[in-house]
Homo-oligomer: A and B are copies of this chain.
Amino acid sequence: MHLKAPEHQVAGHIAKDGKPGPLVDDKGRFFKPLQGDSRGEIEVKFYESFSSNTEIPDHIRRYFPVYHGTQAVEGSDGAAMIVLENLLSKYSKPSVMDVKMGSRTWYPEASEEYIRKCLRKDARSTTVSSGFRISGFEVYDHKELSFWKPDRKLLNGIKVDGVRLALRKFVSSNTLSDTSSKPDAAFASSVYGGSNGVLTQLLELKTWFENQTFYHFNSCSILIIYENESIHDDDARAQVKLVDFAHVHDGNGVIDHNFLGGLCSFINFVRDILQSSDESTENN
C-alpha cells in the first residue's frame, strides 16, 4: 500500500514533533491518525454510531465522509488510523475551505482549563461574533495557475469583514495575492448558487439540524470543496462535507442549537455574496 501526505490539507492536524500526520492512498482513502487522550476514541465512536444509525436519511449521509473502519498503518510506527473516504481524490484542481462551526467550541463537561483556552480563541476569532470561523482555505489562482493559501496566523485574526472578504476570494478569478484589486467573485453563482451549489446543500443540512437530536457536533467543521478545472464549463462540482468529530457528544433529545445557529449565520454570509454578485451582473 503506497501512502503519502495529502496535497490540499487546509486545517487540522499535520505531521509534527514525530507524530504522524494524515495520509492518503491511491484508492481514494484518507487515513487520519487517532488523536491522543479521548479525542480519537470519541471520533471512532461517532463514526461507528453514525455509519450504523438507520435514522440518518441518505440525502444527509452524503454530507459525511464514508467510514471504512480503523487500521494499523505500517510506516507510521503502526499507529492506529481512522480510514475514511478521501474527499479530494476525484478533484484535479480543488479549492478547499474549512469552516469551524458554532459560536462556542467548548462544551460544559470539559475541564475548566480547556474551556478557558477555547473561550479565548473563540472571542479573538469570529466564532462568538458570527457563529463560525474560517480555519483555513486554499484556492486555485486562475491567473497564477497555482494554489494560494493564506497564512494561518493571518486568518486567526480576521473579523467579520475579513470573513466576507475570504468568502469572496474563495470564489474569485482574479489574482489573489494582489490585495489592491477587489475579488471579482466570478464563480459565486457556479459555486455558491444553483440547485447543486453550496447554498442549496447548506439549506438541506439546516433542515436536518432543525430536527436531529442524536449528536451535538462540538468543534466540528464544514469543508467546502469545488473543482477549478471544469468551472469555466459551469461545472463547479461543489461539495459540502462535515469533518472532525473528536468532540461530538450525545444530543440527549436536544437539537444542536450551537451548530445550527452558526450554520444559519454562515448561510446568510453566503447568500449575501450571491445577492451582491447578482446585482453586479445586472449592472453590467
Contact = CB atoms under 8 A, between A and B. Distances in A.
A257 B253 contact: no
For this chain, the copies found in one complex come to 2
Given A103-B103, A128-B108, A129-B108, A255 B260 contact: no
A252 B103 contact: no
Interface of A: 103-104, 107-108, 123, 128-131, 160, 210-211, 213, 252-255, 257-258, 260-262, 264-265, 268, 272
B210 A258 contact: no
18 contacts: A103-B103, A103-B104, A104-B104, A108-B129, A131-B257, A131-B258, A160-B252, A210-B264, A211-B268, A254-B265, A254-B268, A255-B268, A257-B261, A257-B264, A257-B265, A258-B261, A260-B260, A261-B262
A252 B128 CA distance: 13
A129 B250 CA distance: 11
Given A130-B257, A254-B265, A265-B255, A123 B108 contact: yes
Contacts of A108: 123, 128-129
A161 to B, nearest CB: 9
A128 B106 CA distance: 10
Contact of A103 (B211, B257, B264): B257
Contacts of A265: 254-255, 257
Contact of A264 (B107, B123, B253, B255): B255
Contacts of A103: 103-104, 257-258, 261
A255 B252 CA distance: 27
A143 to B, nearest CB: 30
Interface centre among A103, A123, A260, A261 (most CB of B within 10 A): A261
